[in-house]
Structure 1
Amino acid sequence: MAAKQQVALVVGASRGIGRQVAIDLAKNGYAVVVAAKSTSDASATKPFPPDPNSQQSTISTVEREIKEAGGQATAIPVDTRDFESVQKLVDETVKIYGPLDVLVYNSGAIWWASVENTPMKRFQLMQRVNVEGLYGTVQAALPHFKNQGWKARIIVVSPPIYSRFFRGKTAYAMGKVGMSILTKGLAMDWEREGKNGMAITSIWPASSIESAATKQMQRTDPGTVKDLRVPSIFSDAILAMLRAPVGDVNGLIDTDEDFLRTHEGLTDFSKYSVVAGATPRRIMPIKFPDLTVAEQADEGRRTDSTKMRNSKL
């Protein structure tokens, strides 16, 4: 009997990093569901393929790109702010392709400014798309993971936790760091419950990656292009994470460059530079703080709110 084709759901796959991840997963044999809000008539898109960092790149065009390259893909629109929409997305993915092997959460809303200059509506949008969207997607996937015997991987686009990250973008950092906390906490849940087939991992760029946002920056400062890398460094790191043993990556929060160096032995990253011969500036620290404490293994008197609530019924 032929081995089952692995299935990946990429949330936030219309352009940039998410598009590249979806395309490279398909190249590596995955059946891929590409999900985001933006759709279009891909058959009428000219020129094709569109600029991957433009509004012309949608989940519809990404689906077409994958299929024309010989891969298997389905585009499903989703609003990550709406839990019912997220549930329908995950259910439809499993209905079409069967058990879900990989979930990548790349959706994100960005606003980098001081607290004073971050309006409440902008703050709420970031929390709903970033941390709430991730939480809802994980919640929607958990029943399916249970049905398939707790064997799957989750990849989250969120950063290592360190103080400098908060500077100048506190509201944004609150949500993104919250996503990393989910990675740490859910990993500990699975370890404690003996779900040894599950792993959740966070990844973040060590250097800036070419995207719609960086293209806007280039309009005011064209010199920034020399500090950019192509998005394939990110998808290469994700593929390496998916190949790694569960114990190596469950609860890990790492950068693309650092993971490729430590787990793949890569030392020359020049092929990922947007400008040939340039060495992009690293935006992440070389070393991150250790978040564990000496009492890490001491769970104390654990409180389970579900049991407390049920005891009152």
Structure 2
Amino acid sequence: METKKVALVVGASRGIGRQIAIDLARNGYAVVVAAKTTSDASTTNPFPPDPNSPESTINTVEREIREAGGTATAVPVDTRDFESVQPLVGRTVEIYKRLDVVVYNSGAIWWASVEDTPMKRFQLMQRVNPEGLYGTIQASLPHLKRSLRGSGRIIVVSPPIYSRFFRGKTAYAMGKVGMSVLTKGLAMDFERQGVADKMAITSIWPAVAIESGATRAMLLKNPDEAKDLRRSTIFSDAILAMLRCPAAKINGRLELDEDFLRTPEGGNVVDFQKYALVPSSASGASGDKWEPPRRIMPKVLPDLSVAEQDDEGKRMNSAAAGKERAKI
């Protein structure tokens, strides 16, 4: 019997991350559920808890997966601390003997102007967002390269790169766009190393706002906003489609969930009503024509390449230079 592929989902205690972990398990993955929030899931009542509430933790998600017949282990982690990230990856490989997929969903949010973003908030976002991702990838890469036939995959929750994203949330955008730069740069590393036919890193971002812990407070104040939200299943469906794609077709892409699902690689999906959060809006039961939720992302995004894309000049390698100096 073939051993299950192993997925590490970082930021999986609630909302989108929880849905990703549950759907990976439903599709045959052994899942390590990682985040800071823990609890005694055996005493959680009612169970399962609201998936977008603080009562949803890595332990309740593990219990949900196990009670549904899946394989899961909850492992706490503080992504701000590389000394916490390394044992997380080590524990994953210790338990399951392999690592095939890493999904990085951890994120800290503060949307405000530069003037209204305190230094502590700025530092928190940079540590959780780009630094946490970088540390997770650094710790995981050796194991991903040793995965079945060397076909490790990394999925990053970060946006396409375009100027409007910076407006009104510059400090947040610096970190999230930095994560997308990491996606592009590591994809180029895979190409240079000749492994892009097996290894791939891809970024994904919602085209329409998704119900999550972040939107829960908004809905409590403005229930009517629900009509412009989608269920988190659209995100996990897009990620599963990405993982089914040949690595070379998906490596380095910065994708939106809906737009990717519409492509041949995503399954040529045309029905998005099933993802609408408000059932009456999705079914048209009111008699009105169904109107899709408001799209928060542009329909056309800029091409980041330049005419001189392949002209790097003399390539520098600081790591190699450091090794040469050490020999002297």
Sort the TM-score into its range (normalised by shorter chain).
over 0.9
In the alignment, which residue of structure 1 is the partner of 2:215?
214
Are residues 1:305 and 2:304 paired? no
User: Take 2:219 and 2:29, find their aligned partners in 1: how far apart are those partners?
Assistant: 34
* Deviates most, 253-262 or 211-220: 211-220
1:248-267 to structure 2, matched below 5 A, reads 248-262=249-263, 263=265, 264-267=267-270
What is aligned with 2:287? none
Q: Classify the secondary structure of the residue corresponding to 1:209.
A: coil
1:286-310 deviations in Å (ceiling 9; x for gaps):
0100000111112210000112222
RMSD: 1.0
* Aligned position for 1:291: 304
Alignment of 1:1-313 (within 5 A): 2-148=1-147, 150-195=150-195, 196-262=197-263, 263=265, 264-276=267-279, 277-278=281-282, 279-313=292-326
Residue aligned with 2:150, SS: coil
SS of the residue corresponding to residue 140 of structure 1 reads helix
* Alpha-carbon distance between aligned partners in 1 of 2:314 and 2:150, rounded to the nearest angstrom: 27
Instruction: Tell me, in whole angstroms, the C-alpha distance in 2 between the residues paired with 1:213 and 1:192.
Output: 38
Normalised to the residue count of structure 2, the TM-score between the two structures is 0.93
> 1:59 deviation in Å?
0.2
- Note the C-alpha offset of 1:33: 0.3
Q: What amino acid is aligned across from residue 272 of structure 1 in structure 2?
A: Y
Say if 2:102 and 2:155, in contact at 8 Å, map to a contact too: yes
The structural deviation recorded for 1:147 is: 3.7
Cα deviation digits, residues 211-244 of structure 1 (max 9, x gap): 1221211233322110000000000000000001
SS at match of 1:46: coil
SS of aligned partner of 1:87: helix
How far residue 312 of structure 1 moved from its aligned partner, in angstroms, is 2.3
Q: What does the per-residue CA deviation read over 1:177-224, in whole Å, with 9 as the maximum and x for residues that have no partner? A: 000000000000101110131000000000000012212112333221
CA distance in 2, matches of 1:35, 1:213: 18
User: 1:8-32 deviations in whole A, cap 9, x for unaligned?
Assistant: 0000000000000000000000000
Q: Which amino acid aligns with 1:221?
A: N
1:268 counterpart letter in structure 2: D
Contact persistence 2:113–2:170 (CA under 8 A): yes
Structure 1 residue 144: deviation in Å? 1.6
User: Can you give the 5+ residue segments of structure 2 that lack an aligned partner in the other structure?
Assistant: 283-291
Instruction: Note the C-alpha offset of 1:273.
Output: 0.2
Paired-residue identity, %: 71
**Shift of residue 146, structure 1, vs aligned partner:** 3.6
Deviations 1:73-112 (A, max 9, x none): 0000000011011000001101111211110000000000
Q: Does the residue aligned with 1:56 lie in a helix, a strand or coil? A: coil
CA distance in 2, matches of 1:145, 1:270: 36
* Separation (CA, whole Å) in 1 of partners of 2:301 and 2:74: 37
CA contact (8 A) 2:207 2:256 kept: yes
Any conservation in 1 of the 2:144–2:153 contact (CA below 8 Å)?
no
2: CA distance, partners of 1:115 / 1:299 = 34
Equivalences, count: 312
